[in-house]
Structure 1
Amino acid sequence: MTRHRIFTTSVASVYPHYLAKAEKKGRSKAEVDAILCWLTGYSHATLDEQLVRKVSFEAFFAQAPRMNPARSGITGTVCGIRVEDVEEPTMREIRYLDKLIDELARGRPMAKILRQTDADN
């Protein structure tokens, strides 16, 4: 199978694009960070560390403290590809993240983005 270039791309190099997409639609850095922390289990401090260290997407997800089990509820398309149909695990995690950032930019409430139910509150 072909290794995708995005696997070796640093999260820090793409992070400003996530921020710009969110901020252009009136959302905040705190919300982008909350999504990343929810998805991966990183704390805000360890997320910042990963960004400073310029870890690759592959390492970022491999080193994640606890991938959120609720991420399997993320469905829909990113760039015309259904996220739930992506077979390669690292690419699926990247697509989940892309989908969550898209939802943020579209104005979806954070509780829905983070797949929270009334029982979670």
Structure 2
Amino acid sequence: MNTTPEHDEKIAKITFGSVYPHYVTKVEKKGRTKEELHQVIEWLTGFDEKKIQELITAKVTFSQFFSEANLNRNASLIKGVICGYRIEDIETPLTQQVRYLDKLVDELAKGRKMEKILREG
């Protein structure tokens, strides 16, 4: 299943800061911490907590967010279905990257062990 150009454009225009509080709520509601969320975001993007806050304050879109990211070389190991799309089959790089982040947050909220989330073995 592939995404539509309209879907891809919509995702590109969403601001990271508008989604971030939902990530925090999701993981904290399931007993995980904001620090663990930041660990996951840093693993995927290379952004530390200070940079994450700068990006939120600057109201960057996902397009800008991922254009500045240094994507983890193991990001392609993130597989599965999120929001009805099989991540490894998404052809638009930005949409795939956003879904990588969604999947990692989902795994964190579901209680998966951090070494599994971070694809360490």
Relative to the length of structure 2, the TM-score reads: 0.91
Q: CA deviation at 1:45?
A: 1.4
How many angstroms apart in 2 are the aligned matches of 1:18 and 1:32? 8
Structure 2: tracts of 5 or more residues without a match: none
Report the identity percentage. 47
How many angstroms apart in 2 are the aligned matches of 1:52 and 1:110? 28
Code of the residue aligned with 1:43 in structure 2: it is D
Runs of 4+ with deviation above 3 angstroms = none
CA RMSD of aligned residues (A): 1.1
How many angstroms apart in 2 are the aligned matches of 1:54 and 1:37? 18
Is 2:38–2:48's contact at 8 Å kept on the other side of the alignment? no
Structure 1: tracts of 5 or more residues without a match: none
Q: What is the aligned partner in structure 2 of residue 90 from structure 1?
A: 94
Relative to the length of structure 1, the TM-score reads: 0.91
Relative contact order (C-alpha < 8 Å, sep 6+): which is higher?
Answer: 2
Q: Does 1:76 align with 2:80?
A: yes
Q: CA deviation at 1:80?
A: 2.0
Aligned counterparts, 1:1-121, within 5 A = 1-2=5-6, 3-64=8-69, 66-117=70-121
